[in-house]
Structure 1
Amino acid sequence: MNKSRNSRDTGRLGYLQTLYGEADAAELESGIESLIAKFALEVATSGKPKRLTESDVALITYGDTLNESNTPPLRVLHRFHREYLAGIFDLIHILPFHPFSSDDGFSVIDYKAIREDLGDWKDVESLSKDCRIMADAVINHMSSQSRWFKEYLAGNPEFADFFIDYDPDEDLSAVVRPRTSPLLSCYKDASGRDRHIWTTFSADQVDLNFRNPSVLLAVIDVLFFLISKGATLLRLDAVTFLWKKPGTACANLEGTHALIKIMRSAVSELREDVVAITETNVPHRENVAYFGNGYDEAHMVYNFALPPLIAHSLIQGDGRHLSQWANGLSLPSDEVCFFNFSASHDGVGVRPVEEILNADELQHLVDATLAAKGKVSSRTMSDGKQRPYELNCTFLDLVARAGEPESVTVSRFVAAQAIVLAMPGVPAIYIQSLLGTRNDIDLMEETGRARSINRSKHEYSTIEGKLADKNGLESKIFTALTRLIRIRREQAAFNPYAAFKVIDLGDSIFALLRGGKADGQQVLSIINLSGNNVDVQIAPDLAGIDLLTNKPVPEGKHTLPAYAVRWLSS
């Protein structure tokens, strides 16, 4: 971000040359510069800070999670923000809001349209005046019902090679698969010829061919369009699979990293405060590689190992894996950070911890999911066998235990979110977690999709009633989480880029020291992961005022109740 425009452009041209050769690269660079000139007239300069701060906490939601008769859902979301979330969430991630044909929005028909049943672009732009908007850029694939794909099948030369037609007799067994569906799906073109199209996720989600320079330019045009409509954070969906090279895993290839660097360079040149976030549900080591050198690739990376590690720690009452992993976290510069969460619209991915948890520990997570009446989604390995890929369950039900007092369920769940809020980076809370939603078995059975279990829709009046009932589970969770967030937003030690260090206070305790002299404040987050009282020894340099109770916690031995959270400021 501090680099000059010229050095940024030189880097971009180099990556373009690597992928496309000198002639096409020069033409592409000219095309990108033309798009920048075009959209520069439409993109307003933000009055908000260019650097993320401790006050940035994200809400993850679908545009139609909240509904009210005769009101577009995007306006209902804006109302919810004004009435309940102002001063708490300054950042809202609205999951795909385009017309789609499957996968709850992740099979986009038209990148430049908003679903009519949600509202219109004016609703997005209006919301963007009250908070920062994160938009999904679903750019690995798009709908088979899209105009782009229809034009491709029709033989329109403008869309030639926009998608990947591959010989089904070739060996593709090395390709990493996130699903059990066939990799190639057969479509007939206008001449009646069979086209075996590369479909990483489903037959309806046809992969874009980034080896075609025109595809990259079209995608950058889409990114610029989203920015022009108010998005200042771009979630680059499923980018693991962007660049294909048969004979390889076709995942996390150097070509993919080069594409992300090109996109980051382009959006940063258009508007310097735009944040590019990569969504790569892969083992942690591969995931953090998307930071690049700290200046040239993703600004933020989803911290995918965090959700399963939090779940494991609270289910087992043992934080050793969580602490060891967190202690090993590092960032390549002070201009990048993690995007932390425990739950999202998807389930809890377990691929990121395949190199951290052993087979028995992973099975414990599977067992907990099934005990909560959730589902376990699998992927196909190169040997044809299936391996758990994702736990489909609300995070609340994943860590809850049947028959326990409600107060224990609430305390354990709040402890889970307190871990998210204390981690280095920007924290995100899924709306179903904020509202205390339980597994939606009926919706899952209605749609036949496992992920629907965590994608409930709510009537606004119903939510109003539940949040007004101070004795209800939903109100207790909402009140506890919003209180934690309000306190967090005032602490410099929780700046996304502030220092962090794991403190060993015992196996059942997750203790994380945030900040220091350079940050103007130091906060020790202490969380009891077990259902038992645990004694901890507070060193002199860690003693302070508990921000959550406003009581002093001096050095010496202290007893933490089950699932207790303490934030000691010194």
Structure 2
Amino acid sequence: MLNPKIDLQLQLQQRLAQQLSTIYADINLPISIASLVAELMSTMRLTEQLHTPTPQVNHWSEKDTILITYGDSIVHSDEKPLQTLHHFLQHYCADTINSVHILPFFPYSSDDGFSVIDYASVNEALGDWSDIKQIAQSHHLMSDLVINHCSSRSKWFDNFIRGEGTGHDYFYTATTYANSAYSNACDTITRSDDSIEAVVRPRTSPLFRSTTTASGKQQVWCTFSHDQVDLDFTNPKVLINFVSIIRQYLDNGIKIFRLDAIAFLWKKAGTQCINLPETHEMVRLLRTLIEHARADAVIITETNIPNKENLTYFGNGNEAHCIYNFALPPLLVNTLITGNCQYLKQWMMSMPPAQNGTAYFNFIASHDGIGLRPTEGLLSEQEINQLVTTMQEFGGRISWRTVTVNDSSTENAQTKVVQTKKTQQPYELNITLYDALQGTTKGVDEWGHARFICAHAIMLALEGIPGIYIHSLLGTSNDYKKLEHTSHNRAINRHRWDLDTLSLELGDPKSQHARALHDINHLITLRTAQPAFHPNATQFTLQLGEQVFGFWRQSIDRSQSVFCISNIADTQLTLPLASVNLISSDFWYDLISGDTIEDINQTLTLQPYQTLWLSNR
């Protein structure tokens, strides 16, 4: 009879071998699958200590709220920014925020951290690994694994140019693409080659950068920018190196892994090079390795793509533990500026409940803009155009992407050949959430703060784990100076606060920053005490008309019900409680105001953007 530990290792080896065989089915590997399995297990130290993850276990609860922040979103002259961040969390969010997502804190060359020079080091300007560990001791720590690409100034890319050393064969080139499965392309792909027309990207820059190397000129694939060179995961050495990076992050207290831009990881000629089966299998492989190293570790996939495609990253409960709810930000902003919740309700009713062991990651603002691709099939073109125009009127900027569409005007009736043309479509809205909600499609009004808090009251009550961007927590407005200085649209929502200045603002209870922090913290405090707000508790959409958005949450043990009802219009409305169907034998009250419901058949008056959380306990 096998030793249980040996038996578990054999089972894991078989599982990894199956996953690797699927990923590399079309690749002529330089090593055997068995050798690759052994290398990965050794790198992750699974031969020394092996945890057995329990299927369908929720590693989260209603107590969890994640703060999204850069390591230097708040700075102080007397200390490293990571230390300042820790002090801010302890002083202003001690009873509300228990998790923190520190955006890339590594040495980088561009894109505010997402062009990583060295994955193994902490940016000296922020602090060091001891500062990361200190935060991890008091908070669940989430870190980016920027896995699709790295900086063109990295040692790896230097070695690629030199043609020797670690990294010399780590990068995806036109030659790699031409030689990929199903390709009948020539040996070299040019920037205008028809074979890359179908490739989906979120940028308008040329796909390839021309780079002179020791072996001649190479066309290097760049999904995002020419400083962000794509890594070639058809080479198993790239995978092994990233598994080594993951092990280091685990050792430094990181529990939650955000797989950045994971949808673009695998490329193959003749495809759109996004969401390929090999990418999904790679997510499953990384999950297998990570959760056997730490049973309560969590993977979140960052896939800013149409909603239907985003949902596939749950797999069968065996891929991402959590997926970003990318459709929520644009739909919720659209709801609040139009005063009509039709599209938000339609989307809510179409969303499948996350099965145990998986959860939605809800957010309405982040370091990036408000993505519009997730609205494809959810908002009409007219609604999107109105949303874009309104955000521009509120001082926002628009980022674009290039798409290829059929040009019906050039169709040849005899040959039935349809020509294509390139056009630009809005990709994301760049604006702070506070400014995005300062008015409606009619213009700026006096209800901006109430509308802003209403958005958070809705998000915090939804099925899933809430994430709050630090500039929403602090009610930060558009940073036009940083936008002008960087000429980068996303900089408008990446303000850097001086702690002394921020402290003065937070010390004034009438400032928008103090009001935002107080009101959001109040909602979080209420949320953490409600079993009905467990990320996996039951959710049901209510039908209360176009100007009242409502849904019902019920705790997993069915002991608590909370009816979450928001007036999303700029006018006072009445709500007949009979339309909500409160149970007559229960005692009901509003968690937010503390008001009791004396008669379940009474009619309530809702102020503009007022939210009720009607609970029976």
**Normalised-by-shorter TM-score class:** over 0.9
Which string of whole-angstrom CA distances, capped at 9 and with x for unpartnered residues, describes residues 374-429 of structure 1?
Answer: 11001111232111000000111112125522xx2110000011111011110011
| Contact persistence 1:24–1:213 (CA under 8 A) | no
Other structure's SS at 1:428 match: strand
Which digits, 9 at most, give the CA deviation of each residue in 1:145-176, with x for residues without a partner?
A: 11111112211264343111212334211100
3-state SS in 2 of match to 1:12? helix
Q: Which residue among 81, 89, 102 is the counterpart of 2:97?
A: 89
- Whole-Å separation in 2 of the counterparts to 1:280 and 1:442: 30
Instruction: Provide the TM-score with structure 1 as the length reference.
Output: 0.95
Structure 2: segments with no counterpart, 5+ residues: 1-7, 175-187, 405-420
Provide closer, same or farther for how the CA distance between residues 519 and 133 of structure 1 changes in structure 2, counting only shifts above 3 A: farther
CA contact (8 A) 2:287 2:299 kept: yes
Distance 1:11 1:386 in 2: 44
Check if 1:550 corresponds to 2:589: no
Please state whether the residue corresponding to 2:273 is helix, strand or coil: coil
Residue number among 178, 199, 202 corresponding to 1:178 in the alignment: 202
Question: Deviations 1:338-383 (Å, cap 9, x if unpaired)?
Answer: 0000000000000001110000000111011110121100111123
Aligned to 1:106: 114
Partner of 1:255: 278
Which residue of 1 is the match for residue 546 of structure 2?
Answer: 507
Residues 50 and 311 (structure 1), Cα distance of their counterparts in 2 relative to 1, 3 Å cut: closer
1:8 is displaced (CA, Å) by 5.5
Alignment of 1:316 onto 2:338: yes
Closer, same or farther: CA 156–499 of 1 in aligned 2, 3 Å: same
Paired residue type of 1:19: I
Does structure 1 residue 489 correspond to structure 2 residue 502? no
TM-score (norm 2): 0.88
Task: Give the match for residue 409 of structure 2.
Answer: none
Alpha-carbon distance between aligned partners in 2 of 1:121 and 1:129, rounded to the nearest angstrom? 12
Tell me how far apart the structure 2 counterparts of residues 420 and 221 of structure 1 sit (CA, whole Å): 36
What secondary structure sits across from 1:257 in the alignment?
A: helix
Q: Percent identity?
A: 39
Residue 31 (structure 1) shift: 1.2
Contact kept in structure 2, 1:136 and 1:236, CA below 8 Å: yes
Q: 2:162 aligns with which of 148, 154, 162?
A: 154
Contact 2:531 2:556 in 1 (8 A): no
- Cα distance between partner residues in 2 of 1:519 and 1:108: 46
Q: Does 1:202 align with 2:225?
A: yes
Aligned match of 2:613: 567
Distance 1:184 1:260 in 2: 26
Q: Does 1:371 align with 2:393?
A: yes
Assess, with a 3 A threshold, how the Cα gap between structure 1 residues 361 and 161 changes in structure 2: closer, same or farther.
same
Cα distance in 2 for partners of 1:8, 1:528 equals 52
Q: Which residue of 1 is the match for residue 414 of structure 2?
A: none
Partner of 2:271, secondary structure, is coil
Matches of residues 219-368 of structure 1 in structure 2 within 5 Å?
A: 219-294=242-317, 296-331=318-353, 333-368=355-390
Q: 3-state SS of the aligned residue for 1:232? A: strand
Q: CA 1:32–1:326 in 2, change beyond 3 Å: closer, same or farther?
A: same
- Give structure 1 stretches of 5+ with no counterpart: none
Alpha-carbon shift at residue 15 of structure 1 (Å): 1.8
Q: CA deviation at 1:225?
A: 1.2
Residues 1:558 and 1:235: Cα distance change in structure 2 (over 3 Å): same
**For the residues of structure 1 that align with 2:269 and 2:609, how far apart are their CA atoms?**
49
Looking at structure 1, the residues matched to 261 and 571 of structure 2 have their Cα atoms a distance apart, in angstroms, of 40
The reply to whether residue 115 of structure 1 matches residue 123 of structure 2 is yes
Mapped partners of 1:313, 1:159: distance in 2? 47
Among 22, 43, 52, the residue aligned to 1:35: 43
Give the Cα–Cα distance (whole angstroms) in 1 for the partners of residues 50 and 397 of structure 2: 45
* Residues 14 and 38 of structure 1: CA distance in aligned 2, closer, same or farther (over 3 Å): closer
Distance change >3 Å, CA 39–CA 138, structure 1 → 2: farther
Does the 8 Å contact 1:492/1:519 carry over to 2? no
Amino acid aligned to 2:595: K
SS of equivalent residue, structure 2 residue 426 = strand
> Mean Cα displacement is larger for which, 7-16 or 182-191?
7-16
C-alpha spacing 1:172/1:512, structure 2 compared with 1 (3 Å): same
Query: SS of 2:229's equivalent?
Result: strand
Shift of residue 542, structure 1, vs aligned partner: 5.5
Secondary structure of the 1:159 match is coil
Partners of 1:506 and 1:536 within 8 A in 2: no
Deviation at 1:522, TM superposition (A): 1.2
Distance in 1, matches of 2:510 and 2:45, equals: 56
2:559 to 520, 531, 546: 520
Residue pair 2:156, 2:166 contacting (<8 A) in 1 also = no
Identify the residue that residue 427 of structure 2 maps to in structure 1: 389
Contact 2:552 2:564 in 1 (8 A): yes
Pairing 1:142–2:150 present: yes
Instruction: Give the equivalent residue in structure 1 for 2:415.
Output: none
- In structure 1, C-alpha distance between the alignment counterparts of 2:342 and 2:33, rounded to whole Å: 49
1: CA distance, partners of 2:491 / 2:509: 28
Q: Whole-Å Cα distance in 2 between the matches of residues 179 and 30 of structure 1?
A: 39
Structure 1 distance, partners of 2:433, 2:280, is 31
2:41 matched to 1:20?
no
CA offsets, 1:291-345, max 9 Å, x none? 0001x10000000000000000001001111111111111452110000000000
Match runs of 1:443-462 below 5 Å: 443-462=482-501
Describe the shift of the 1:6–1:364 C-alpha distance in structure 2 as closer, same or farther (beyond 3 A): farther
Letter in 1 for 2:80: P
Q: How far apart in 2 are the matches of 1:473 and 1:95?
A: 25
Question: How many residues matched?
Answer: 560
Cα distance, 1:50 vs structure 2: 7.0
Tell me which amino acid in the other structure corresponds to 1:163: F
> Are the aligned partners of 1:345 and 1:454 in contact in 2 as well (CA < 8 Å)?
yes
Deviation at 1:12, TM superposition (A): 3.1
Amino acid across the alignment from 1:188: T
Asked whether the 8 Å contact 1:162–1:209 carries over to 2, the reply is: yes
Change (3 A) 1:39 1:380: farther
Determine the C-alpha separation between the residues in 2 that align with 1:174 and 1:450.
26
Deviates more, 1:560-569 or 1:167-176: 167-176
- 2:391 and 2:135 mapped to 1: Cα distance? 36
**SS of alignment partner, residue 129 of structure 1:** helix
1:163 corresponds to which of 171, 177, 186: 171
Partner of 2:239: 216
- Checking the alignment, whether the CA contact within 8 Å between 1:394 and 1:433 is kept in structure 2 is yes
Distance in 2 (CA, whole Å) between partners of 1:30 and 1:180 is 41
Question: Is 2:445 the partner of 1:404?
Answer: yes
RMSD after superposition: 2.0
Shift of 1:519: 4.3
Q: Does 1:59 align with 2:103?
A: no
Hey, what's the Cα distance between the residues in 2 that align with 1:228 and 1:327?
41
Are the counterparts in 2 of residues 397 and 438 from structure 1 also a CA contact under 8 Å?
yes
Using a 3 Å threshold, how does the CA distance of structure 1 residues 506 and 5 change in structure 2: closer, same or farther? farther
Output the amino acid matched with 1:97.
F
**TM superposition shift of 1:6:** 6.0
